Amino acid sequence: MAELSYREAVARGIAQEMRRDPTVVFLGEDVAGAGGVFKTTAGLLDEFGPDRVVDTPISEQAILGALMGAAMTGLRPIAEIMFSDFFAVCWDLVANEIAKSRYMTDGQVSLPLVIKSGNGGGVRFGAQHSQSVENWAMAIPGIKVATPSCAADMVGLMAAAVRDPDPVLIFEHKALYATKQDVPDGEIVDRLGTARILRPGRHCTILALGLMVPRALAAAEALAADGIDAEVIDVRSLVPLDARTILDSVGRTARLFTVEENPRLCGWGAELASIVAEDAFWDLDGPVVRITTPHIPLPSAAELEDLAIPSTERIAGEIRRAMG
């Protein structure tokens, strides 16, 4: 057992898979000698050399084009898009090429690749470097989407993504990079499509993702002082989605709250609320409540950014009001 930061867990997950499988390669901007702008790839170049850890030009289209070609020709490549906001520059390759190739070739071409990216706000990077965009990816058929919220999950879900036969996007939350957790020694392999109940409860279910997970847990502790026993579920994987765990929880608690960092309009919680309304309507004792960032560009000013992104206090307050 060793204490790892979330950023160290990224490198550990990648290194674990590169040691296991010589076809795993890594490419991106400043990922080799510099160890990544967020230091999530430190040490990889020293261990695996420049043939397997490759610095690229500053071109997201070139990175994903090379990634796709490598996957088509027998490698299992991983690429970094430095900020998830920059997916907007290369979204055609994700949405129209990578996501569609296996389907359009009737399985003759598979793309076992991973794209990792720094996602989300809370670190004062402004509107063009702070977006939470996992809902963009969730909307595209043909790709899988995961967002680890802790170091152990980062190692395990990264390994699961690398071993998966389909394209997987891993969203790393920038505000979690410095957080630490004891992580077991040895190989860790998780499973995509599994949510995790982090706190059992009787009175309501809270669904959260990424940075919102520790905030939801803290809010649940605050609610407990008021006699509200909240169950907290880390959704972890949006595609595939563990709807069974969510529906079973709502069946027990009869109330559902989603805590989303992405802007409210078309956020991931809207889809989960729709699933619950269709499949568990008669289990609900009240409307599904979505606690989200407003539909605005994320501000640069610290006070405004903190006001926009759901805080522990806001989460607890909105649940407290809805629960009466």
Domain extent listing, the chain: 2-183, 196-322
Spatial strand order in the sheet of 230-234: 196-199, 230-234, 204-208, 256-263, 289-293
- Least Cα distance to 132 among 144, 147, 142 occurs for 147
Backbone torsion region of residue 206, taken as left when φ is above 0, otherwise alpha when ψ lies between -120 and 50, otherwise beta:
beta
CATH topology of 2-183 equal to that of 196-322? Answer: yes
How far from the centroid of its chain's Cα atoms is residue 237's Cα?
7
Secondary structure class of 320 (helix, strand, coil): helix
DSSP assignment of 241-272 equals: T-HHHHHHHHHHHS-EEEEEEEESTT-HHHHH
pLDDT tens digits, one per residue of 229-259:
999 999 999 999 999 999 999 999 999 999 9
Mean pLDDT of 149-162: 98
Element holding 159 (H helix, E strand): helix 151-163
Please calculate the CA angle 142-159-152 and round it to the nearest 5 degrees: 120
Looking only at the bridges linking them, the beta strands covering 2-5 and 180-183 are antiparallel
Mean pLDDT of 167-181: 98
pLDDT at 46 over 90: yes
Give the per-residue pLDDT at 324: 87
CATH architecture label of 2-183: 3-Layer(aba) Sandwich (3.40)
Q: How far apart are the first and last CA of the chain?
A: 43
Mean pLDDT of 281-294: 97
pLDDT at 284 over 90: yes
pLDDT at 310 over 90: yes
pLDDT tens digits, one per residue of 175-226:
999 999 999 999 999 999 999 999 999 999 999 999 999 999 999 999 999 9
Mean pLDDT estimate for the chain: 97
Q: φ, ψ for residue 16 (rounded to 5)?
A: -55, -45
CA dihedral 189, 71, 61, 149 (to 10 degrees): -10
Mean pLDDT of 1-5: 94
pTM for the structure as a whole: 0.96
pLDDT at 81 over 90: yes
- Please name the residue that has the structure tokens 């669904």: 207
Tell which CATH classification among 2.30.130.10, 3.60.21.10, 3.40.50.920, 2.40.50.100 matches the domain 196-322. Answer: 3.40.50.920
Sign of the dihedral through C-alpha 252, 254, 259, 262: positive
Catalytic residues: 60, 129
Sign of the dihedral through C-alpha 175, 319, 197, 260: negative
Give the separation between CA 240 and CA 280, rounded to whole angstroms: 19
Q: Are 268 and 135 in contact, with CB atoms under 8 Å apart?
A: yes
Element holding 79 (H helix, E strand): strand 76-83
Give the per-residue pLDDT at 6: 98
pLDDT at 30 over 90: yes
The per-residue b/e assignment along 134-163, b for 16 or more CB within 10 angstroms, e otherwise, is: bbbbbebebbbbbbbbbbbbbbbbbbbbbb
